[in-house]
């Protein structure tokens, strides 16, 4: 879980959509889906956000005015209040949410029939549903329900993650471009006037290597590569000393990123996975309504509503 701990504790985003329009929370059609979900509730509901990350969905629930209590659990060591301590407005909202870090969905720390509505945006699918579905059934009120949006294996998110896995696996190989960048940092860590010309020539060779590598990628892989290599290029442009630790730190972050997006690909549901999910939901005691959720007419997620039978 270190890769998810690192993600949630170091990136100032409330969602798992880093570097996107959702960094500060859900908007548009996605936000409307959840607002419609909250609309039918009484104003004193106990809500449970499963796989909450830094609280994007919990914040929507809070702002709906329909929750008396918002519980938010995540298996990662989240700490949203610390991360956003310098944002007074957001911090005030986050403090109204009861966050439970390092908490498994397969073993929820809540009493039976305690929750009116369980919600999840790209979280529940990371759990072991053979255990998490019965546990969800246990904590829901007899007339309670769960609404989940789960990763779709056919979505652009999943396809981008697969492209990223291809690129990162190649770049993190021994002797690859990333290692060449670190060797460059070691070689020119202290650049005097004599070495400056040699460093410039080495820069040109590396840039050419980047361009040659990118030519062999498809559009989605190339886009991912550009995001990866950008921070390294920024370090290369430093005209004074090169800090080798900075380059090594970026490489370590790429390792975390590879593991994280591999988790997303593995968690995403295919049609066959959805059939399996439905079988386990029925076995746990739920009636399940499952249908595709699209954004801009493209696959985005599976919308799942579970009601106790």
Reading the chain (309 residues) residue by residue, the pLDDT tens digits are 789 989 988 888 877 665 455 556 788 899 999 999 999 887 789 999 999 999 999 999 999 999 999 999 999 999 999 999 999 999 999 999 999 999 999 999 999 999 999 999 999 999 999 999 999 999 999 999 999 999 999 999 999 999 999 999 999 999 999 999 999 999 888 767 677 888 888 889 999 999 999 999 999 999 999 999 999 988 888 767 788 999 999 999 999 999 999 999 999 999 999 999 999 999 999 999 999 999 999 999 999 999 998
Check whether residue 127 and residue 96 sit in a common domain: yes
Residue 26 sits in the same domain as residue 112:
yes
134 and 56 housed in the same domain: yes
Long-range contacts: 238-241, Cβ < 8 Å, 24+? 240/191, 241/189, 241/190, 241/191
Residues near 246 by beta carbon (within 8 Å), at least 6 away in sequence: 185, 235
Residues 226 and 82 in one domain: no
Domain total in the chain? 2
140 and 17 in a common domain: yes
Does residue 173 share a domain with residue 140? no
Q: Are residues 141 and 191 in the same domain?
A: no
Tell me how far apart the alpha carbons of residues 109 and 1 are, in angstroms, rounded to a whole number. 20
The CATH code of the domain that includes 53 is: 3.40.50.150
| Domain match, 69 and 22 both | yes
- Domain shared by 163 and 85, yes or no: no
- Pairwise CA distance, residues 67 & 53, whole Å: 19
- Retrieve residue 134's tokens: 């019965």
**208 shares its domain with 138:** no
- pTM of the model as a whole: 0.92
- The secondary structure of 278-298 as a DSSP string is HHHHHHHTEEEEEEEEEETTE
Range of the domain at 200: 156-264
Looking at the fold, whether 190 and 259 belong to one and the same domain comes out as: yes
The dihedral region occupied by 65, where left means phi > 0, alpha psi between -120 and 50, and beta the remainder, is left
Q: Are residues 150 and 163 in the same domain?
A: no
């Amino acid at each position: 879980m270190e890769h998810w701990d690192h993600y949630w504790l170091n990136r100032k985003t409330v969602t798992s959509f880093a570097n996107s329009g959702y960094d500060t929370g859900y908007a548009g059609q996605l936000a409307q889906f959840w607002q419609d979900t909250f609309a039918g509730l009484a104003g004193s509901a106990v809500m449970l956000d499963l796989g909450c990350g830094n609280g994007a969905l919990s914040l929507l629930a809070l702002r709906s005015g329909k929750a008396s209590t918002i519980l938010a659990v995540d298996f990662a060591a989240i700490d949203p209040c610390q991360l956003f301590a310098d944002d007074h407005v957001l911090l005030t909202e986050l403090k109204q949410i009861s966050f439970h870090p390092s908490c498994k969905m397969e073993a929820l720390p809540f009493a039976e029939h305690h929750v009116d509505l369980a919600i999840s945006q790209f979280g529940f699918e990371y759990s072991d549903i053979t255990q998490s579905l019965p546990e969800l059934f246990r904590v829901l009120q007899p007339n309670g329900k769960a609404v989940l949006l789960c990763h779709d294996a056919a979505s652009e998110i999943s396809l981008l993650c697969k492209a990223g896995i291809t690129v990162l696996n190649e770049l993190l190989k021994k002797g690859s471009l990333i290692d060449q960048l670190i060797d460059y940092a070691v070689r020119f860590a202290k650049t005097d006037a004599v070495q400056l010309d040699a460093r410039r020539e080495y820069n040109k060779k590396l840039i050419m290597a980047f361009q040659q590598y990118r030519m062999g990628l498809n559009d989605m892989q190339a886009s991912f590569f550009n995001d990866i290599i950008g921070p390294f290029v920024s370090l290369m442009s430093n005209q004074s000393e090169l800090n080798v630790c900075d380059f090594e730190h970026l490489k370590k972050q790429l390792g975390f990123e590879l593991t994280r997006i591999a988790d997303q690909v593995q968690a995403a549901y295919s049609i066959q996975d959805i059939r399996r999910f439905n079988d386990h939901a029925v076995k746990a005691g739920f009636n399940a309504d499952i249908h595709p959720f699209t954004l801009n007419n493209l696959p985005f997620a599976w919308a799942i509503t579970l009601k106790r039978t």
